[in-house]
Amino acid sequence: MKTVIIKYNAGNIQSVLFALERIGVQATVTDDPALIRAADKVIFPGVGEASTAMHYLRGRELDKLIISLQQPVLGICLGMQLLCAYSAENNTHCLGVFNNVEVHRFRNEGTPFKVPQTGWNSIQQLKGPLFNQVDEQAFCYFVHSYYAELNDCTVACADYIHPYSAALQHNNFYGVQFHPEKSATAGEQILKNFLSL
């Protein structure tokens, strides 16, 4: 099985590589369209800022490549947000795989919550193959100021200030707002589930 991690200027790549190695998977980090197309599984990680990341993807035509992929694709954190239609972070039009889904900034005025959300939070209302053998209310590790609203593609929820999408799925595209590579046993199981799709 060939697993590829898309290389671009917003990837939290090293921690994902280490997490895959822990479960016995050697992944290739690349921005080569031929290698990405030939992969059995594609991981699209991300940390950083949406508009800069989209500018980089468009400049290399990786935006067109990603939305054309037929194999299972997993967006992580910013990677999941970029698969949505729009992000309020610098008014960014994204890839639109999760059609009509918008990404907004947490508004914490009048609450004791800090933005970004940083740390462990539980996920619930788990649906679909990504969450096989993952416990309802499992704890995962989050670091984010922006969130995807609840929508028809939501396959897991979390609550911080208000409920939001912890995971999305549409056809062969999956996205998680948390970092499975930093989410201990639950995260490891989610990565295994994705790789066995």
CB–CB of 180/191 below 8 Å?
Answer: yes
The CATH number given to whatever domain includes residue 177 is 3.40.50.880
98 φ, ψ to 5°? -85, 90
Which residue from 162, 149, 174, 180 is spatially nearest to 117, judged by alpha carbons?
A: 162
pLDDT score recorded for residue 45: 95
Look at the chain and report how many structural domains it folds into: 1
Residues acting as catalytic residues: 77, 179, 181
Reported confidence tier of residue 134, pLDDT bands at 50, 70, 90: very high
CA distance 76 to 176: 5
SS3 152: coil
Q: What is the pLDDT of residues 17-74, one digit of tens each?
A: 999 999 999 999 999 999 999 999 999 998 889 999 999 999 999 999 999 999 999 9
Domain span at 158? 3-195
Give one word for 41, left, alpha or beta, with left for phi > 0 and alpha for psi -120 to 50. beta
The pLDDT tens digits for 18-32 are 999 999 999 999 999
Percent of the chain at pLDDT > 70 equals 99
Give the per-residue pLDDT at 67: 98
pLDDT at 11 over 80: no
Question: Which residues are CB-neighbours of 91 under 8 A, at least 6 positions away?
Answer: 51
Token pair 């999941």: residue: 80
Give the model's pLDDT for residue 12. 72
